[in-house]
Amino acid sequence: MDFSKTTNKLEKLEPGRTYHIYNKAISHDKLFVTEKDYFFFLRKLHRYILPVAHIVAYCLIPNHFHLLVTLREAEEVAGMPENDREEQVRKISKIFSNLFNSYTRSFNIAHKRSGRLFLYPFKRILVDDEDYFACLIVYIHRNPVHHGLVKDYDKWKYSSYNAYLSKKPTAISREEGLSLFGSFDEFVLFHKENKIKPGMEEYFLE
């Protein structure tokens, strides 16, 4: 895969494929002001997205988020048309839009504001290379360090990194993520060393 090529940031969301999905707040606003906001967004993520996708990684920081998901096959999703690809794409996109619209309404009520919250319709990049997939997981988990929010990425509460370290049940698709690194120890080491393939910086948008 040529990591230096231009990426379509509004690619169609097709069943069975993996995507990096992200968005940010308008102007200098924040998506998450209080701890309740973070956990409220995660609850909505579980409600809207788990029925249609496996969540491989996520990170929420005050003014934006990153989400890495593998969409379920059409036959795994209740009510998904089986033989109409365009309708499948439309329905999946609508589900994601519903998530963000629902969070915006709730956030506006809680913080006594009105109008748009997100800067633009959510962006998505197809992940079709295992090197990119693995590096993207690391990038997402290390994002709070990149933005100076913490010195150690494992100290940030609002990412999926610690779900990978835990043995407790989780909604995160740990097996899918760990399979890209070969072992749990390699997963941890890859994060510590922050290995990024040359040319991938253009894919890391926030």
CA-to-CA distance for 135 and 128, rounded, in angstroms?
12
CA-to-CA distance for 199 and 129, rounded, in angstroms?
14
In a domain, 36, yes or no: yes
Please tell me the predicted confidence (pLDDT) of residue 3. Answer: 34
In a domain, 6, yes or no: no
In a domain, 78, yes or no: yes
Total domains present in the chain:
1
> Tokens standing for 163?
């779900």
CA-to-CA distance for 177 and 101, rounded, in angstroms?
28
CA-to-CA distance for 106 and 79, rounded, in angstroms?
26
CB 201 within 8 A of CB 130: no
Which phi and psi (to 5°) does residue 66 adopt? -125, 140
pLDDT band at 164 (very low <50, low <70, confident <90, very high): very high
Which CATH number does the domain housing residue 63 bear?
Answer: 3.30.70.1290
Mean pLDDT of 50-77: 94
* The model scores a pTM over 0.85: yes
CA-to-CA distance for 102 and 89, rounded, in angstroms?
20
